[in-house]
Amino acid sequence: MILPTKTALKDNRDRLVRASVAGRIAPPRIFQEALAVDEGGRHFFLPAAGGIALGVHVGDRASDWVADHLMPGASVEDDGDDTPAIAGSLHLLACIGNVARDGAGRKIGVVSGKRGGMAPGFWAPQLISVEIADDVAHRLTPGDRIVVESVGRGLTLTDFPEVGLCNVSPACLDILPIQPKADGLACAVRAIVKAESAGPGLGQDCWIGDLEIAGDSVIAGSIVELHFGDLVAFADVDASTTRFYHPGRLSIGAVSHGPSPAPGHGIGVTILMTGPSGSLSAEIGQEGSLGTSLRKAADTLSRG
């Protein structure tokens, strides 16, 4: 296992199926349609979805880059004739923390997030991001075949069945800063967002893409200071099936892409956990991030 083990929570990982799923590094795409207009009515022409973001890593501040929905590392999509690709087996089975290999079988990095979640086949594309070391990034090209060693679909917490997991590999579960409390589980996060700030991604399958922070209504923490891989909680949002407003529920995820100049769009969060607020709570803490662990894992793989 590449990622360090930090949790003693019981789970069913020994029964999960490991499967190799393949896709391709998506080409860089710049959208010049109606959505590529800022709140002042000005068209923008910025690096957007797809390609390889050289020098951009999990752990970097998501708002530091002049870009549109930027993802760190390599953006990978399902094979197929659709352009951009819709969510297929690669997208739907990949989990954060899964190991990725290139076409030659060399381990190159780990899955760090997902992007998409609007209508299938519609802007935006359904992508996963793979955190990779800089030397790996410079030998890859758009179109290269990528294989993900997927495991995580069906993962459950034995003692907390009311808390649902999605997009979580066993390795990711081991580094999540969650602790059992008398009344359930508590997770450290960097920000707690009100449901009214939840934007694009609502109504979509919780395994597809992300949920964007489209407003500035927060209960605690700072949206501007969020980094790729930071954990964010959405109050009164349920992601047990689709993602939707549900008072008394809580959903927690990791920052997977940066903001956009387009009105109504913002930093994207790939949901990892959801449950009733009586069983799942969020607490602001510096340990509320996966960024450092995921980057270290990718660097370790690049040296192996």
- Which CATH architecture group holds 164-290? 3-layer Sandwich (2.102)
Mean of pLDDT over the chain: 91
Distance CA 275, CA 259 (A): 27
Nearest to 96 by CA among 115, 83, 78: 115
What CA–CA distance (Å, rounded) separates 129 from 97?
A: 11
Q: Is it the case that residue 82 has pLDDT exceeding 70?
A: no
Taking residues 190-208, report their average pLDDT: 95
Nearest to 253 by CA among 123, 136, 135, 115: 115
Q: Are 216 and 196 in contact (CB under 8 A)?
A: no
What residues contact 304, with CB distance under 8 A and at least 6 apart? 107
CATH code of 13-151+293-303, in short, is 2.40.10.170
Delimit the domains of the chain by residue range: 13-151+293-303, 164-290
Q: What is the pLDDT of residue 4?
A: 53
Contacts of 26 (CB under 8 A, 6+ apart): 49, 50, 51, 75, 76, 77, 84, 85, 125, 127, 142
Looking at residue 37, its pLDDT comes to 73
Question: Tens digit of pLDDT for each residue in 37-72?
Answer: 777 767 777 887 789 999 999 999 999 999 989 999
Two domains, one topology: 13-151+293-303 and 164-290: no
Which residue would you say has higher pLDDT here, 241 or 212?
Answer: 212
Whole-model pTM above 0.85?
A: yes
